[in-house]
Structures are given as structure tokens and as C-alpha cells.
Amino acid sequence: MSTTQTSLTSSDAAPPAKPLRAIPGSYGFPFFSPIRDRLQYYYSQGRDNFFKTRVDQYKSTVFRTNMPPGPFMAKDPRVVCLLDAQSFQVLFDISKVEKRDLFTGTYMPPTALTGGYRVCAYLDPSEPKHAMNKKLLFSLLHDRQPHFLPEFHDTFSKLFDGLDAAVAGEAKKADFNALNDVSSFEFCCRAYFGVDPASTSLGADGPKKVSKWLLFNLHPLMVLGLPKIVEEIFLHTFHLPPFLVKSDYKKIYDFFYSAAAKTLDRAESIGLDREEACHNLLFATCFNSYGGFKVFFPDIFQWLARAGEPLHKRLREEIRSVVKAEGGDGSITITALEKMELTKSVVYEALRIEPPVMFQYGRAKKDFVLESHDSSFEVKEGEMLFGFQPFATKDPKVFKDPETFVADRFVGDEGAKLLRYVYWSNGRETDVPAEGNKQCPGKDFVVMVGRLLVAEFFMRYDSFEAEVGTVLLGAQVTITKLSRATS
């Protein structure tokens, strides 16, 4: 098995002195220039080309620009844009940047969408409730860990049954995303709280209600394909009124208040208000976990489908041989997952090439010098720093063939060195989430579940074919052929 070689950045050794350069770019005229930039970002240039044209114009991966949504939702749209793997890392350094109210970017959704509270994602580590809420999430993940694998197997076996039925049916194809929405929400609730939401008063509409609530949080960052004037007024200029989703949110909240009763007891024991803790658990489950899986799982299948039978063969051989060596009863264990080197690499590569979280923000706490690969830049206290993650994790000075999905990129010793440049979790993949940093507390859980999805699939199937398109925040995967396991 070959391992992709790379040229590592100078940060792997003592970096040479880099020339100091003024940050290029301009914010233009207040109000009018941010609207112009917003229209370019969403329509005339498009997201990726918006950044590429400025990199070419300024001959720099660090520059000044305005980021959407701008007026009237964002008080200040001005950012210093970071588009390389070297400069991007400053966004993880909480000694230099503050993360207060920056989870979604230059705007913050109304707190009416989260019960009137600023939930943990919007808190800076300097705020006492940040550590308390993160401690609660760590304890939840630790206590429920024994349930993750069996709950995933049971839940996603139903998804696979749905794929089989749809492909064998009249349509001869299956909407993976639609089935994944249902299974991912059920899995999150069962894994964290041991409750199937469909069996409660929330019923089978839970995923739809949560998706509607997610839209109200994220619509300033979306293009729905409506007429431009409609999108500009209703999505990018003013917040959608929270009262339109209030009843749906209340039903979701009531479900969590009951399902998470034991965890809420623990929250009170560490000094958190029970109601506030419930809104935080809801957000962590529905936004961070479920919202992430809505994007991440179809992305994995997108790249598996594009790679085709040669990769499928290698994966099924690895997965089945490891499971057999670990006991032979067909069940997948944590120990087995750790031994599946190619499977692990595939998941890391999916996270690298298309991170489920694309944006990172931080406000400079003080004056400091920022470094890209080849230059240094002075950043002033109070300036907003913005990193577009898909550019940073496809930095050609770090990764060979960065735009290509390379399944075994992270296999072996050389591949392991590259994990420090996989940034999807608001930190390096080699970093450890802690109460005092902003890295996702469920980082290891997400990676494990991604591997589990691949392993469970190839224990059941030899191969598959799919049509791949795009939806709001990721890939649309339609399964057109499934080949059941023959050995």
C-alpha cells in the first residue's frame, strides 16, 4: 500500500525569518462595499472564486475583505482573511484571539433561537460558563461511550434496509441524504440519552423541526436558489423572525428536557441552571452533532462513490479481515476500528478535503505578528480574523494533489505527520479538546462514528454506485446500485 508523500511546511522545523508585509486588500466604502462583496460572494463570483480572485489580485493568502452577510445583520463585516495552513492556525490560539459570539461569523443569530441564552458555542473560554458547559458535555460523552457502537449498529441497519428497499423498488434508487437525516437524528438521541425520539411526543417529525430551526440559524450564509432580490431581502439582510420557529423549538426543547433528565441533574450538581443546560444540550445535539452528520455522512459517501470499486475492494478486505481477527462474530469493536488504517485515512481525508465546518473566526486580543508560509503581517488588537477552512486544508504547500481525494493519504508514519493540518474541529486533529479551549468536545466521537459508518457499510455490502450532486451545505448522494456482501 502506497502512502502519499507531501512537502511539509516550514513549521516542522525552525522557521526562517519572514519579511514583514502590510496586509493587502481594502474594505472599501462603508455599507456599499460590503453589499458589493456580498453579491460577488453569493452570485457573480461564487464562494470559492471570491477567495481565489483576491489571492491572485493581492499575491497573498492573507488579505483584507468584507465577509457576508454584512448590512444589516453584521455590525462590522471587515475581516483579515487567512487562506493557508500556516496562518490559519492562529485561530486556535486563545492567547491571541477571542471567540466571543463568533461561532457563525460576523453575525450572531438571535438568542431567541436558543431560549434567550448564549449557548456554549458562542462563549469565549474566558467566560466561566464555557468550562462548566464543556465539562457537562465531556461527562456525557464519557458516560454514554459504551452505548455508541450498539446504538449506531441498530439505527443505521435500518438506514441500510431503507437503501435496499428503495434501490429494489420502482424508482431503482435511494436518497441517502433523506434516510441519513432520520437515522442521524435518531442515533444522536439514542447514543446520548438512550431515547428514540420517534417513540415520544416529538414523533417522527423531529428531523424536520430541527432542520427548520437550523435554517433560521444559518440562513445568512445560504443561497436557496430563489430570485436574488428575495434572497437578499429575506436571507441576507434581515434575520428571519424567531417566532416563526418558536413552536417547533418548544417541542424539541420539551423532548430534551425529558430525555436528558439525568444529564440535567448532573448539570445542576456542577452549578448550571437546569433550563440553560437543556438549551445547551439541545444545541450540542441538534446543531453540532446532528447538523454535522447531515453534512459529513453524505460527504463520505460522495468520495467513496467517486473512488469506485478499487477502493471499495480494499476497504471491505481490510474491514472484514480485522473484524474476523478480533473475534469473528461480525460485530465491530473500538479495538477493531483502531486497527483499520485505510478506513481511518478515508475518514480523515473526507474531513480534510471537505470540512463539515467551513469557517473559523477570532478577534485579536492584542497586537501581534501573524505568519503565512512566506510573509509576516502585523495584526492590531480588535481586528477580526477569518479563516476559510477548505482552502487551509487544501494548501498545496502542505498536501500533494490537494484537490484530489487520496484514500491512503494519512496511512503510515508520513501520513500521520499530516494530521496536524486537518482542522475541521476548531483545532488540529492532533490537539486534545479541553475545557479551556474551543476545540469540539466531540472531536474523537465524530471521527469514530465516521469510521463506524464506513465499516458497517462494507460489512454488509461489497460495493455501490451513486449519483452525486450538491445541496445547501454539502453533497447530495443518490444510491443507484448496491452489491451485497458475497464473503
Nearest to 113 by CA among 305, 272, 241, 265: 241
Q: What's the chain's Rg over C-alpha atoms?
A: 22
E strands of 311-420, at which residues? Answer: 359-364, 368-371, 376-379, 384-388
266: which residues sit within 8 A by CB, 6+ positions away? 136, 139
CA–CA distance, 402 with 198 (Å, rounded to integer): 42
Q: Which contiguous run of DSSP H or E holds residue 414?
A: helix 412-417
Cβ 134 vs Cβ 126: under 8 Å: no
Residue 399: how many other CB atoms lie within 10 Å: 23
- Whether omega before 396 lies within 30 degrees of 0, making that bond cis, reads no
Residue in this structure with the C-alpha cell 472599501, named with its chain if needed: 28
Q: At what angle do helices 309-325 and 341-353 cross, to 10 degrees?
A: 130
Q: Please provide residue 273's backbone torsions phi and psi, each rounded to the nearest 5 degrees.
A: -65, 135
Is 286 flagged in the annotation as binding?
A: no
Q: Please provide residue 465's backbone torsions phi and psi, each rounded to the nearest 5 degrees.
A: -130, 150
β-strand pairing of 384-388 with 376-379 = unpaired
The residue type of 325 is: A
Per DSSP, the three-state class of 30 is coil
Cβ 101 vs Cβ 239: under 8 Å: no
Q: List the grid coordinates of 155.
A: 439505527
Cα→Cα distances 39→47, 60, 198, 232, 390, Å? 10, 23, 41, 9, 21
Please give the annotated binding residues, written as ranges.
Answer: 440
Please give the annotated binding residues for heme, written as ranges.
Answer: 440
